[in-house]
């Protein structure tokens, strides 16, 4: 990752909360060519000491390269968007604001019991705020028995983390305010999320 110092994020709490807020990750590994799969990835532990877990379909060609002790790159994306230089008080170069976390991990495949426990946590994580949540043990057993053999769970031990939040740090305040106002006027929900991230970064 290209990581200018002014955009770098090193705080463990920031990184941990970012992953929890943006759990749909891109999992990249080296096979006969570079391969990537988009998966929900959850945390287990605390901001100071955590590991990650997910699962993959057995018919996915990438799975043969997601073996014990293999390395993978997990990419978590935050809100992002184009920023026009026409929004600035003086002529400048247009840019793209974004945030992301890259984590190099070492893979360990889960046992069947660990996979079931992980699926319980995964379903609970995304169902708990539903009006009528359907938890893991509410799924008919025959359906679980049919689908469990078709997926493989895995743990991700963290080897290295890079985190970035490029949110107009170092720009004049008047330009930051203008960027926020222009993003607020856009109908795209992603622009609204980016606006909120910029406001938070600048304490506005």
pLDDT of residue 13: 97
pLDDT tens-digit series, residues 69-119: 999 999 999 999 999 999 999 999 999 999 999 999 999 999 999 999 999
Residues 5-170: name the CATH superfamily. Electron Transport, Fmn-binding Protein; Chain A (2.30.110.10)
Q: What integer is the mean pLDDT of 44-64?
A: 97
Whole-model pTM: value is 0.94
User: Which pairs count as long-range contacts for 180-184, CB under 8 Å and 24+ apart, including other chains?
Assistant: 180/204, 182/84, 182/87, 183/81
pLDDT in tens, 139-186: 999 999 999 999 999 999 999 999 999 999 999 999 999 999 999 999
Q: Give me the pLDDT at residue 167, please.
A: 98
Domain residue ranges of the chain, discontinuous segments joined by +? 5-170
Contact at 8 Å (CB) between 36 and 51?
no
3-state secondary structure (DSSP) of residue 172? coil
pLDDT at 21: 97
| Euclidean distance between CA atoms 151 and 84, whole angstroms | 44
Query: Tell me: the pLDDT tens digits for 12-39?
Result: 999 999 999 999 999 999 999 999 999 9
């Amino acid at each position: 990752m290209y990581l200018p110092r002014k955009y770098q994020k090193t705080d463990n709490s920031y990184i941990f909360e970012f992953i929890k807020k943006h759990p749909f990750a891109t999992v990249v590994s080296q096979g006969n060519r570079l391969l990537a799969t988009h998966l929900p990835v959850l945390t287990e532990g605390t901001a100071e000491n955590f590991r990650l877990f997910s699962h993959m379909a057995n018919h996915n060609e990438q799975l043969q390269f997601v073996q014990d002790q293999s390395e993978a790159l997990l990419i978590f994306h935050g809100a992002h968007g184009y920023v026009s230089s026409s929004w600035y008080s003086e002529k400048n170069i247009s840019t793209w604001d974004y945030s992301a976390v890259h984590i190099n991990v070492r893979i360990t495949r889960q046992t069947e019991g660990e996979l079931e426990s992980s699926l319980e946590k995964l379903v609970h994580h995304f169902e708990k705020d539903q009006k009528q949540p359907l938890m893991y043990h509410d799924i008919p057993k025959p359906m679980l028995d049919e689908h469990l053999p078709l997926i493989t769970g895995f743990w991700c031990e963290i080897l290295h983390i890079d985190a970035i939040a490029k949110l107009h740090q170092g720009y004049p305040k008047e330009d930051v305010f203008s960027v926020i106002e222009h993003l607020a006027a856009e109908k795209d929900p992603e622009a609204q999320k980016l606006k909120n991230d910029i406001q938070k970064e600048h304490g506005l």
